[in-house]
Amino acid sequence: MGRTAKNRDLPHLPPVERVELSSKHLVLRIAAAALLLLIGAGALAYAFGMFMSGGDGWREIEVSTPNELTCGSDFVFTYDIGASGASASAETRAVTALYTQAATHAYRVFDTVQSWDGVGGLYDVNHHPNETVEVDPVLYEAFSLLEEHGSRALYLGPVYAVYQSLFFCQDDTSAAEFDPFVNEAAAAFVSECAAFARDPAAVELELLGGGRVRLNVSADYLAWAEYNEVGDFLDFFWLKNAFVADYLADTLTEGGYTYGALSSYDGYVRTLDGSGTSYSLNLFDRADTLLQAGILNYEGPAALVTLRAYPTGSDGIPRYYQWENGDIRTPFVDLADGLSRTALPQMTCWSKSAGCAGIALEMAPLYVAGDFSPADAEGLAGSGIWSVWCWDRVLHSNSPEGSITQLYNGYTLEK
């Protein structure tokens, strides 16, 4: 029997009723390793396997420098130690070292708080407007992908700072100071900033080639930023971990470590395995409560992105704010007015060809919107990106036949 990844218990879920759509893949689930990404009512738990202190099998790999600032706290990385035939101890040391190095570098590249010696990071670009700056290849590639997709979400840095302050609030009284939906001053601020962000004449990142960039900022915007004590024109915000996930996954793959799976607490997944390993993703829906709707199955290397309009509180990092009346503010900001806006409670897209960043950028115009049309998802399918979403107790999917194998809680499937 092949290696299997046993599931952790899912806390606080309501009773489920399972409907099996197909038994075709059940043998594969038993014969190959299975990855279950589980979203609980109050927490996001990633279950990759039976993590042990030594020996072969699926193990969680953590960064080896806990006192360093890294992206490791945002991710869960599990690896099938011994699957390559290497000794368990040697492979564990090697994959841990490479993962630690990559997680540290990624943190420094996307850091907006400080500059790091030898790394041309996002901080350096933000603090040298109208100057040519040489940036790290990872950052230059990220800028290039944003430009390729025509996305200006990067320019909403000052707006994201408002929402980040909101997410750290502990009560509605303090939240009222930052929420643009209830505070007129906050609404005016994000609206003004969104107007700058939309205007290439006000702010534009110029890619000069050879790793060099120039952040062009108009005199009017510079004056407005100084008056409002704005420090960051650019911020990846909710998109950051999509780029980090791709960088970590690509670095591990290039290093020859392909028997693993990497996922972030905010919904980005890269499975590295090229040997036909079978994986599963639990699909959830939220209306009045959180319900499991079904299971998505796939095999081998892939990228998955789940965007959701509700908090899970899984890792202790505030990414949403929920008012006492149940209203929720999300990190998904509309460039049109700077307001938090989502078209669906949750949407999952996955691809065998695109990375997490590419998927997220394709999803953004559909998800960060006032409404949603299934025809939009068909457009993604033309690019090899499959979509799954829920509406009115129906699980909608344009994924390949057989990828949805179970339904729960009375949900039906519409393809």
Return d(Cα 92, Cα 86) in angstroms, integer. 9
List strand residue ranges (DSSP E) for 90-172, in order.
132-134
Q: What's residue 56's pLDDT? A: 75
Is 122 within the bounds of a domain?
yes
Is 220 within the bounds of a domain?
yes
Which two structure tokens, joined as six digits, stand for 399?
């994924």
Residue 286: which residues within 8 A CB-CB, separation 6 or more? 308, 309, 310, 345, 346
Using CA atoms, how far residue 122 sits from 76, 92, 100, 217, 342, in Å, is 24, 32, 20, 15, 27
Q: What is the DSSP letter of 13?
A: P
User: How would you classify residue 82: left for phi > 0, otherwise alpha for psi between -120 and 50, otherwise beta?
Assistant: left
Residue 251: which residues within 8 A CB-CB, separation 6 or more? 98, 102
Give the containing element (helix H, strand E) for 39. Answer: strand 36-39
Handedness of CA 284, 285, 286, 290 (dihedral sign): negative
Using CA atoms, how far residue 200 sits from 127, 150, 204, 333, 368, in Å, is 19, 12, 5, 18, 21
Q: What's residue 382's pLDDT? A: 87
Which two structure tokens, joined as six digits, stand for 367?
């998800």
Handedness of CA 45, 46, 47, 49 (dihedral sign): negative
β 412-414/394-397 pair status: parallel
Is 203 within the bounds of a domain?
yes
Residue 297: which residues within 8 A CB-CB, separation 6 or more? 25, 29, 278, 279, 280, 281, 402, 403, 404, 405
Is 353 within the bounds of a domain?
no
Residue/partner pairs of 164-169 with CB below 8 Å, 24 or more apart: 164/237, 166/321, 166/329, 167/318, 167/319, 167/320, 167/321, 167/329, 167/331, 168/318, 169/321
Position 1, amino acid = M
Q: What's residue 276's pLDDT? A: 73
Is 186 within the bounds of a domain?
yes
Instruction: List, for residues 143-190, the tens digit of each pLDDT value.
Output: 999 999 999 999 999 999 999 999 999 999 999 999 999 999 999 999
Segments of the chain with pLDDT less than 50: 1-54
Using CA atoms, how far residue 266 sits from 36, 73, 140, 177, 289, in Å, is 16, 12, 23, 25, 19
Q: What is the DSSP letter of 252?
A: H
Return d(Cα 246, Cα 94) in angstroms, integer. 20
- Domain of 128 in residue numbering reads as 114-234
Which two structure tokens, joined as six digits, stand for 20?
């099996």
Which two structure tokens, joined as six digits, stand for 137?
């290849």
Using CA atoms, how far residue 54 sits from 50, 79, 150, 240, 397, in Å, is 11, 12, 47, 33, 40
Is 171 within the bounds of a domain?
yes
Q: What's residue 128's pLDDT? A: 98
Domain count, the chain: 1
Beta-bridge partner residues of 134: 212
Are 352 and 300 in contact, with CB atoms under 8 Å apart?
A: yes
What does the DSSP assignment read for 298-338? EESSEEEEEEESS----SS----EE-TTS-EE-S-B-TTTS
Which two structure tokens, joined as six digits, stand for 17?
């009723």
Return d(Cα 180, Cα 192) in angstroms, integer. 12
Question: Which is nearest to 73 in space by CA: 52, 103, 94, 102?
Answer: 103
Q: What's residue 315's pLDDT? A: 59
Is 187 within the bounds of a domain?
yes
Q: What's residue 313's pLDDT? A: 65
Is 188 within the bounds of a domain?
yes
